[in-house]
Amino acid sequence: MSNLTGSRQPRPPYGTGPPSRAAVPTRRAPYGRPPVPVGAASRHTQVSRYRRRRLQWLVPWMFVAPALILFLYFKILPLAQGVQMSFYDVRPYLGDRYVGGGNYVEATTQPLFTQAIWQTIILAVGTTAGSILLGFLLAILVEGQARHLWLVRTAAFLPVVTTMAVVAEVWQVMYYPDRSGALNTLLGWIGVGPEPFLQSPHQALASVVAVGIWRGAPYDMMIFLAGLATVDRNLYESAAVDGASRWSRFLHVTLPSLRPVITILFLLAALRGLRSFTEVFLLTNGGPGQSTQVIMVLIYKLGLEQGKLGVAAAGSMILFVATAAVTLAVHVWRRRAVVR
Amino acid sequence: MAFTAARHRVTAAVAAAICVGSALAACSSGSGNGGTPAADASGALKVWARAANDSPKAFQAIYDAFTQKTGIKIEPFFTLTDFETKLTAAAAAHDLPDLVVDDAAQLGNFKTQGIIRAVDKGKLAGADQLAPGSWASASDLSGKTYAIPFSAQANLLFIRKDWLTRLGLSEPKTWDDVTAVAKAFTTQDPDGNGKADTYGLDVPGSTTRGYISWYWSTFFWQAGGEYFKDAGNGKFTATVNSPPGKQSLKWFEGMYCGSPKVVQPSSLNDTTTETNKAFQTGVTGMYFTGPYAYATMDGSAVKGKYEVIAPPPGPGGAKTLAEGTNIYLMQGQRPNAAQKLAEFMITQEAQNLGMTKVPSATIVRLPVNTSVDAASAHKSDDRWTLAQQVYKDQGHYEPVNMPNWTALRQASSDALNAVIAKCGDSDAALDQLNDKLNTLLKQQGVAAG
């Protein structure tokens, strides 16, 4: 307290106050008065207070400036450039041509675009739901203090820290579509298969979702573990005293306590799902027969394979609006939930 | 030959001297798109080549020889499957290399983007030494030259000799033979390991870079099909759904969807990186690919176990996919040095380096320079004689002169991959594709009617 009240007192100009006192303020002597005539001191402090007030707003900005500058250069400016590009037929060496909303029309009227949107949504929903469910299950299984659990948790977390390129390569081998493939060997033991997995237009998207879940679940698990640790133990005890069954305790104590965690996980996973690129690009590149074409891969192909950078920029803007909408929707929903 | 080389060196030296002396744009080949700088900017010449494995070493050998001769330093860059996407990204960032070595099939794509310069053959030292036919895939429909040929090739059939012997089969001579051998390789356990883990035909069936239609083209032409019909006045109509086209796709789809399925099961997502591996590791027994694969295959366990034969003719005759590799002069600040490198790359010396300097990488497959001969350069390897012969007798180029062939090829690939993935109606798919190709031709301004 003394520190707080002390800091509101007029401070002596630097170097004028007794250093020992300034360094160790006490309750009895909050901040020493400067040993100068009273009139002169008050005028001096007024000026410095004025100066400080005038510059005070700058201080927080100075602290965030490095981050802001980087953000501006690497995020805001490219974004602005992307918006601009989306209205042009971009031809870096022939001169750009203004086409108005033409790119948006071309992007959205491609028959592939609608298909890609649906497939992106399926991929996002599937991966999100799967990762959250599996992550939660894992979290409950490995929650605790024992040392071996720590080891299990670390092992389970490995998919998250592994580079997607490696993950894709490994899964491609596991998904190999004949009897010699790893997964098909397992399936063969129970008399199923061989399944084509990534080679079939009917199974490819599901196979990509499975890789997404495998990779995303441990991340969700970690956040759930952190969430579970914050649940008040007293609530469990009182519930138990009141005769609540294990399942009711889970339903009425654990789940409500984890609501903020679930919300944030849902948001993060949904955004990750909408922007999926690497796994699809490396596993199937949108194939076979466009069955795994998602928005990001389509944008990549439009821009860098077909050289239609403007159309690709328009597609990116649409995706940007979609992700912003999802974020806002979740925020609104969360606010309402809190009010309730 | 020595005399030619000496004369050429003199010509090159004189040309270089004039270039340096006059410091005019005369030596560069301005395309009319944007100005051509009079003098080169300083710094190393940025050169990109589509190459992987040991090929970069072979390119480096040529670059080193060039640097030694001219003092011009080179900053090389190599990549394979995503080459064109990287180049498009570089163009978007206005950071193009000065010279690019890539497939002739990209000519229209690059020209449409405005990132390459037109080439004035009259001002290119050594242009007269190149085989006249090699220029065909370096020009657009109007005959204007936009690239310099560097190497040529035609696909051959690589086939497992040991598998044929084990199963008592002979080399395929017709489509029916190809089908029969493919079935036998799939069902009769040609590697004798007791498992059904081998396949007859190796196909890069991915849509990436248009691989599947690129590969199918050989069968399409063998059936007697053509992608486009010339309607005169530089206008074209798509003819991919002609009866021969339909026949060839039905046959090709049967390889994937018939019983047994004779194509390697991962095909529809495979690019040539994966198909090379499939052949090298004994997953597949027949593979249509270019003579550059001699080195790739000989560097693996399959060495000595396979043979190379001329592709068996189809119902419409003996045809095979022929391709060129081009040198593209890019829009940039070092046009004179770039052209000098291009001039060096087509000399006898550089072509020989590209053929034989690095045994595991033949970046010059069949040379474009008439004073060089692949068969005599690879004296100990008579497969090169075959490569030359097949190229001459059966070679059929893709229509790379179209305003943007890669866009047309991509559409074909998407259609083929989609119908085969579903094992759907191949005739209907070709009818749809034909309409799509006509739409694209219209967009490219060369549609008839």
Q: Is residue A217 included in any domain, yes or no?
A: yes
Same domain? For A122 and A264 the reply is: yes
**What is the structure's pLDDT at B92?**
86
Residue A327's pLDDT is 86
Are A192 and A45 members of one domain? no
Nearest chain B alpha carbon to A175: B266
Q: Which fold has domain B2-151+323-388?
A: D-Maltodextrin-Binding Protein; domain 2 (3.40.190)
Task: Report the pLDDT value the prediction gives residue A47, as an integer from 0 to 100.
Answer: 63
Which residue from A177, A283, A285 is facing B208, i.e. has the nearest CB?
A285
Q: How far apart are CA B201 and CA B287, in angstroms?
A: 6
Together in a domain, A115 and A40: no
Model pLDDT for residues B359-374, shown as the tens digit of each residue: 888 999 999 999 998 8
Average pLDDT over residues B214-236: 95
- As a whole number of angstroms, the distance between CA B252 and CA A86 comes to 41
Domain membership of residue A268 (yes or no) is: yes
B418 vs A contacts (CB less than 8 Å): 201, 288-290
B421 in reach of chain A (CB within 8 A): yes
Give the separation between CA B90 and CA B110, rounded to whole angstroms: 12
Least Cα separation, residue A91 to chain B (angstroms): 6
Domain boundaries, chain B: 2-151+323-388, 156-321+400-443
Q: CA angle, B412 as apex, B411 and B413 as ends, to 5°?
A: 90
Residues of B with Cβ-Cβ distance to A182 under 8 angstroms: none
Task: Tell me the mean pLDDT in the region B385-410.
Answer: 93
For B118, how many CA atoms within 13 A lie in the half-sphere containing its CB?
13
Least reliable range by pLDDT among A16-25, A96-105, B338-347: A16-25
pLDDT digits (tens, 9 = 90+) for B60-92: 999 999 999 999 999 999 998 789 989 988 998
* A17/A132 same-domain check: no
Co-location of A115 and A21 in the same domain: no
- Domain contains A74: no
Pick from B88, B195, B197: CB nearest A307: B88
DSSP A275-326: T--HHHHHHTTT-STTTT--HHHHHHIIIIIS--HHHHHHHHHHHHHHHHHH
Q: Do residue A94 and residue B114 have CB atoms under 8 angstroms apart?
A: yes
List C-alpha distances in Å: B26 to A93, A211, A230, B10, B74: 22, 58, 77, 19, 23
- pLDDT, residue B13, reads 42
Nearest residue of chain B to residue A172 (CA atoms): B266
- Average pLDDT score, chain A: 82
**DSSP strand pairing (B320-329 vs B284-289):** unpaired
What does residue A185 show for φ and ψ, rounded to 5 degrees?
Answer: -65, -45
Interface check A283 vs B, CB under 8 A = yes
Structure confidence at residue A42 as a pLDDT band (50, 70, 90): low
Looking at residue B73, its pLDDT comes to: 94
Structure tokens at A314: 């328009």
Size of chain A, expressed as the number of residues it contains: 340
Whole-complex ipTM = 0.80
The hierarchical CATH code for the domain B156-321+400-443 is: 3.40.190.10
| Average pLDDT, rounded, for chain B | 89
* Residue A59 is assigned to a structural domain of this protein: no
B439 in reach of chain A (CB within 8 A):
no
Contact B269 A284 (CB under 8 A): yes
B320 vs A150, more confident: B320
A14 and A143 share a domain?
no
A interface mutation test: which of B88, B112, B211, B330 has the most A CBs within 10 A?
Answer: B88
pLDDT over 80 (residue B99): yes
Report how far residue A228's alpha carbon sits from residue A238's, in angstroms, rounded to the nearest whole number. 17
Same structural domain, A317 and A227: yes
Do the beta carbons of residue A131 and residue A218 sit within 8 Å?
A: no
- Is position A288 within any domain? yes
Q: Which residue has the tokens 């100066």?
A: A51
Residues 239..268 of B with a Cβ closer than 8 Å to A: which?
265-268
**Is A98 a member of any domain?**
no
Q: What is the pLDDT of residue B18?
A: 36
Identify whether the C-beta of residue B172 lies closer than 8 Å to the C-beta of residue B311: no
The dihedral built from the CA positions of residue B419, B102, B363 and B152, taken in this order, carries a sign that is: positive
CATH code for the domain in which residue A171 is found: 1.10.3720.10
B23 shares contact with chain A (CB less than 8 Å): no
Q: Which residue has the higher pLDDT, B116 or B36?
A: B116
Q: Is the peptide bond before B260 cis (omega within 30 degrees of 0)?
A: yes
Query: Which chain B residue has the Cα nearest residue A307?
Result: B88
Mean pLDDT of B394-408: 93
Rounded distance between C-alpha atoms, residue B74 and residue B81, angstroms: 23
Q: What is the pLDDT of residue A17?
A: 43
DSSP state of B204: -
A10-39 confidence digits (pLDDT tens):
444 444 444 444 444 444 444 444 444 444
Query: Are A93 and B115 in contact (CB < 8 Å)?
Result: yes
Q: Is the pLDDT of residue A304 over 80?
A: yes
- Same fold for the pair B2-151+323-388 and B156-321+400-443: yes
Is residue B194 within 8 A of residue B177, CB to CB? The reply is no
pLDDT at B248 > cutoff 80: yes
Is residue A240, in this structure, part of any structural domain at all? Answer: yes
Please count the structural domains in chain A: 2
A179 with A264, same domain?
yes
Are A45 and A120 members of one domain? no
Whole-model pTM over 0.90: no
pLDDT of residue A44: 61
Tell whether A103 is covered by a domain.
Answer: no
Q: A35-49, A142-156, A241-255: which range is least confident on average? A: A35-49
Cα radius of gyration (chain B): 22
Amino acid at B447: A
Per residue in A179-230, pLDDT (tens digit) is 888 999 999 899 887 888 999 899 999 999 999 999 999 999 999 998 988 8
Query: Residue B288 carries which side chain, given as an amino acid letter?
Result: F
- Is A7's pLDDT higher than 70? no
Q: What is the pLDDT of residues B158-188, one digit of tens each?
A: 999 999 999 999 999 999 999 999 999 999 9
Question: Using CA atoms, how far apart are residues A74 and B342, in angstroms rounded to an integer?
Answer: 38
> In whole angstroms, what is the distance from residue B343 CA to residue B130 CA?
11
Q: Which range of residues forms the domain containing residue A9?
A: 2-25+33-49
DSSP H or E stretch at residue A56: helix A38-56
* Cross-chain CB nearest to A94 (options B33, B266, B419): B33
Do the beta carbons of residue B209 and residue B270 sit within 8 Å? Answer: no
Contact across the interface for A93 and B113, Cβ inside 8 Å: yes
pLDDT, tens digit (0-9, with 9 covering 90-100), for A253-295: 888 888 888 888 888 888 888 888 999 999 998 879 889 999 9
In this complex, the residue of A92, A177, A178 whose CB is nearest that of residue B91 is A92
Q: How confident is the model at residue A119 (pLDDT cuts 50, 70, 90)?
A: very high
**CA distances, B310 to each of A114, B53, B288, B324, B387 (Å):** 45, 26, 10, 19, 8
